[in-house]
Structure 1
Amino acid sequence: MPGRMTMPSDAGKTSRQDQAAAWFAAERAGMMLVEQRAEFDAWLADPRNKAALDAMKDLWQGLSVLKGNEPAPTKAQKPKSRAPIVAAVAAVLLCGIAMTALLTQSGPHAIVTADGQQRTETMPDGSVLAVNVASNVSYRFTDTQRLVTLENGEAAFSVKPDPAKPFVVRVGDFEV
């Protein structure tokens, strides 16, 4: 799913409901990056994923109905259980953790050109990648580095400096 983000979409590692929760949290917070929006749309194209997201939205709507719906306490009432509050807080924390993982990791983005085709792409950090004919390049940005892997062919780079995140180019066993 998501343009190959590592979270939340890798099937087999994360349940569809967990993926839906992570996407729902990111979408609700309004903090989804442009690349993640495309990945989200691709994930959402699967009807099973859409159903899981709709179920998450329904759950959220159902929880909002509870707000302000409690009767005023009387002296005869027993103290209410805090379990629903603890569960709600845990759900919000889980969504927050999933959203943080979603926003801080960027999966590999692949650029493949055919014979006679060239492509130039501006990467998320502002660096520019020019891919020559019959080439295969992927890049992945993390919190600590910007890694570009040249699988085959030719590529040129115009790198935007960032001392906190070195720009590393990997070709076979070599890194520059």
Structure 2
Amino acid sequence: MSHISLQRSARQAAIKWFVIMQDADIEHPERSRFEEWLFSHPAHQRAYQEVCTLWEDLDSPDRLLHLESAMQQKIFIEKTDRSKKIRTVITRTLSVMFFAVAGISAYYGYEAWESQPTMHMVANTAIGQIRSQVLEDGTKLMVNANSDIEITYTRKERRVILKQGEASFDVAKNPDRPFVVDSGLARITVLGTRFAVNKFSSKVRISVDHGVVRVEPQQYLTTELTGVNRYAEHVLTLRDNEVAEFNLNGQSKRLQRPAADAFSFEFGTITFDQAGLEEIAETLSRYRQLPVTAQFDTANDVSITAVIQAKYTERFITELPIIAPVKVNTDRNATLLIPKKMQTSRKP
């Protein structure tokens, strides 16, 4: 028998055996005969493997049985082989796309999972009221009078928005979840430390009792990439007993003053260290229903250092003209602090 005849005969037999054995169980009576035929010649094994490979492209066993002629088989095999190559390329491409999409979906899904809030709270204090609270991670929070903060914990970050006023934080250390305070003018980032943030209209003051705090001006965070060089000098790292201020322009400066002064409000004490009238007015307004305002005069602003009990705020305002060149005007809407103009001497 020629090679071509042997190949055609093996293929025809393989098709018939495939139709018989595709639904046969292990105990089928024809299985022993099939196995005897299959292992009797390498050509039988090649032909049967070819039929198994092509089966997925056929609609029914009847179509297999009708592939009797060598020409039909040759045309079918060539067509199927081309389809198989195309299908392989498409399958591989779709596989790559699937895993890419799956990877991207998993990444953003994980990001969304990490960013999902695990704790959210708002802490508001009324005029003259001081509030203390221990957060779920053990962080201790003290909120000064007339202050407003919002706290959100996620799995990757602990974030506080200081909308108004003053607060101190004794942060539980967690390297995997930094503690971030957004004060509007600056962002403060820590891992574990005790610090205080005091927000005024034109500046924000950060005082570190112990630990390490990184402070970045808000302009640095929101400007274009070229802004790094412009604001890098104002990004500060504060350590034990260090104090710094950031103004509306994103400029920072370190202050030579005790950091402990920033925590005095926790004990009902107001501490002024070379404070101007604007700072004094905003601070006193936290402790009285009638707000205190100040007439700003750069040339004649005062510098006052004083320590008072919050409950004696009214007495301090009354005595203010005695200890500093300040005039106090009070009406039904507010108390106004006005710096007195410097008296110039005249020659006779």
> Could you state the TM-score of these two structures normalised by the residue count of structure 2?
0.21
Q: TM-score, normalised by structure 1?
A: 0.40
**Relative contact order, higher structure (CA 8 A, sep 6+):** 1
